[in-house]
Structure 1
Amino acid sequence: MIQTLAIILGFQLTGEVLSRALSLPLPGPVTGLVLLVLACILRPALAEAIRPVTQGLLAHLSLFFVPAGVGIVAHWDLLRDQGLGLAVALMGSTLLAIAAGAWAFTAVARLTGSEEREALRDQGRE
């Protein structure tokens, strides 16, 4: 287990170093995750070796939200003062993210000529 955690954290550290050294627009952990996925694709034995520990981490993923909850309680005064603005920003960004996802899905479906569009065309719905 410790070896697997060391591998995961090593990829995260590598991603952080690369992200900062190359001024990448991605956060270090995301860069490290991409590197880990690539390593698992290139070496399936690595994926099998880390699978039990990673599944255990995913099973208890909710524990990683405890620090966020503590942060909310610690900054309650700020949330009380700026709560409305934060709520509007969260709802607005959520709606924009949903719209962007729908637009991207539609664009990819048009570019790839998805089978569903062809089925609708055959039924006369489009």
Structure 2
Amino acid sequence: MNLFIKLVQVVFLYGFYLLGSWLHDFLQIPLPGSIIGLLLVWGALSMNVLSLKWIESGAHSLLSVLPIFFIPATVAVMNYGHFFSGKGSLLIPITIVSTFLTMGVASFVSQTVAKRLGKRKAGSECN
């Protein structure tokens, strides 16, 4: 029974993907259909149109196998050895700098949002 529930939830999530792909084709939106579908799921969850319990275990099942999908991309990089042989040493510092830059920007944004929400909450408690 649990497997059936997960399967139904995965099919439901796949429906959002198909809807996003259809919107991409129909409206010529410059985003991939999968991203549009993800935004539709996020919007439905944010507006409480979709309950998290309706998709949670199916989403966890998909996330548990997600690393498998990176294997083909990693193997495909092996076809471009000539590109990485000359510039491969530059990729290491670029990766390190971009990682720290991403972490810094993410922490700055999260701190700013937390402070604004804290001020809003404090302001509403005073009224």
Please name the residue that 1:14 is paired with.
Answer: 19
Q: Return the alpha-carbon distance in structure 2 between the equivalents of residues 78 and 64 of structure 1.
A: 23
Shift of 1:32: 0.8
TM superposition score normalised by structure 1: 0.63
Shift of 1:51: 4.1
Shift of 1:97: 0.9
How many positions carry a matched residue from both structures?
111
Please name the residue that 1:33 is paired with.
Answer: 38
Q: Percent identity?
A: 26
Letter matched to residue 68 of structure 2? L
- What does 1:95-114 correspond to in 2, within 5 Å? 95-113=100-118
Higher RCO structure, 1 or 2 (CA under 8 Å, sep 6+): 2
Please name the residue that 2:49 is paired with.
Answer: 42
Deviations 1:80-112 (A, max 9, x none): 222123333322221211111121122123322
2:80 to 75, 84, 87: 75
Conserved? CA contact 2:9–2:57, under 8 Å: no
TM superposition score normalised by structure 2: 0.63
Return 5+ residue gaps in structure 1 as ranges. 115-126
Return 5+ residue gaps in structure 2 as ranges. 120-127
Shift of 1:33: 0.9
Please name the residue that 2:125 is paired with.
Answer: none
Q: Return the alpha-carbon distance in structure 2 between the equivalents of residues 73 and 53 of structure 1.
A: 33
Q: Return the alpha-carbon distance in structure 1 between the equivalents of residues 110 and 94 of structure 2.
A: 24
Q: Return the alpha-carbon distance in structure 1 between the equivalents of residues 115 and 54 of structure 2.
A: 40
How well do the aligned residues superpose, as a CA RMSD in angstroms? 2.9
Change (3 A) 1:113 1:36: closer
